[in-house]
Structure 1
Amino acid sequence: MARNPRVKCPVCKDTYAGVPTRRTGMVSVHDHKRTPRALVLCEGSMVHVPISDAIGWQDELPEPGAESAAPMVELTLF
C-alpha cells in the first residue's frame, strides 16, 4: 500500500502526512488540530509545501479566464 510523504507543518513544525495535489513536487499538509481534542484546525492545515526529495516543482497556474495585469505589447509591421 502506498504511503503519503511526511512533511513538516509550516506553523506548528510537527510532522504530518502530505496529501497529493495537482501541482508536481508539492503536497498539502493533512488537516490537524492545534491540540488533540480542540475543534479548531491549525493554520498550517492544507497549506501547500514542497516535498523534500522532489526533483522539480510546478508553480500554481492561473485560473482560466483570469486577466493578466501586464499590458500586452503591440507590434507594428512596416
Structure 2
Amino acid sequence: MRIRGASRSNPYVLQQLSGTYDAGNFLDALWLGGNIALGAAGLHPTMAAFGEPGPDEELNLSPPGAAAPAAR
C-alpha cells in the first residue's frame, strides 16, 4: 500500500497501518493535551474583550483603491 502526502508523517496513520495503535497511548495524550490547552486559552481573561467591537476607523479609499478588490 502506498501512502501519499501528509499521511506519510502522521503517526496515527502509520500506527493504524502497521497494527500497533492502542487506545490510550501517547497520541491520545497529545490530543487530550491539545484540547485542554485550547479550552484554557478560551477561558483566559483577555478573551472577554475579544468579542467587543474595536474603534471605528474611517476608510479613506481613492476610487482605484476601492475598485481593486472588485478587479479580481
Using structure 2 for the length normalisation, give the TM-score: 0.23
* Bigger Rg, structure 1 or 2: 2
Name whichever structure is richer in helix by fraction: 2
Using structure 1 for the length normalisation, give the TM-score: 0.22
Name whichever structure is richer in strand by fraction: 1
